Amino acid sequence: MRGSFIACVIALLLCLGFIGDASANSGPFISISTSKGKPGTKVTLDGKGFTPNAQVIIAANPEGIIISKGKSDHKGNIHLSLPIPPQEKIPNLEGSNLRIFAVEPVSGKQSNEVQFNYLGSDTPSILATVKAFEFSIKLKVSEDEANKNYTFWAVYGPPNSSQVAHRLTDPDGDLVYTFTDEVVGKSLLIVKIVRGTGVKTTSTGAEPGDPQLVLQDLGVLEVNRNITLEINETSANKEVPEVESATSRNLVPQGLPLTGGGGMSIWDRFCYMESHKLPGVRK
Residue 84: per-residue pLDDT: 94
Per-residue pLDDT tens digits for 222-245: 998 999 999 987 555 444 333 333
CATH architecture of 131-282: Sandwich (2.60)
pLDDT at 234: 58
User: Which residue intervals of the chain bear CATH 2.60.40.10?
Assistant: 131-282
pLDDT of amino acid 24: 44
Work out the mean pLDDT of the chain and round it to a whole number: 77
Higher pLDDT residue, 66 or 126? 66
Distance between start and end Cα atoms, the chain: 67
What pLDDT, on a 0 to 100 scale, did the predictor assign at position 280?
Answer: 31
Task: Look at 18-22, 77-81, 145-149, 159-163 and tell me which has the smallest mean pLDDT.
Answer: 18-22
pLDDT in tens, 128-172: 567 889 999 999 999 999 999 999 999 999 988 888 999 999 999
pTM given for the model:
0.68
pLDDT at 253 over 80: no
Type of residue found at 225: R
3-state secondary structure 36-83: EECCCCEEEEEEECCCCCCEEEEEEECCCEEEEEEECCCCCCEEEEEE
In the predicted model, is pLDDT for residue 272 greater than 70? no
The pLDDT score that the predictor gives to residue 173 is: 93
Residues 6+ apart with CB under 8 A from 243: 211, 212, 213, 214, 250
Q: Which pLDDT belongs to residue 92?
A: 82
Out of 2.60.40.1930, 3.30.565.10, 2.60.40.10, 3.40.50.720, the CATH code matching 2-127 is 2.60.40.1930
- CA-CA distances (angstroms) from residue 30 to 17, 202, 228, 260? 21, 35, 33, 21
Q: Are 132 and 223 in contact, with CB atoms under 8 Å apart?
A: no
CATH 2.60.40.1930 residue window(s) in the chain: 2-127
Model confidence at 88, pLDDT cuts 50, 70, 90, reads: confident
pLDDT exceeds cutoff 60 at 49: yes
Residue 42 neighbours by CB distance under 10 Å: 11
Residue 57 burial (CB count, 10 A): 19
Phi-psi region of 157 (alpha: psi -120 to 50; beta: other; left: phi over 0): left
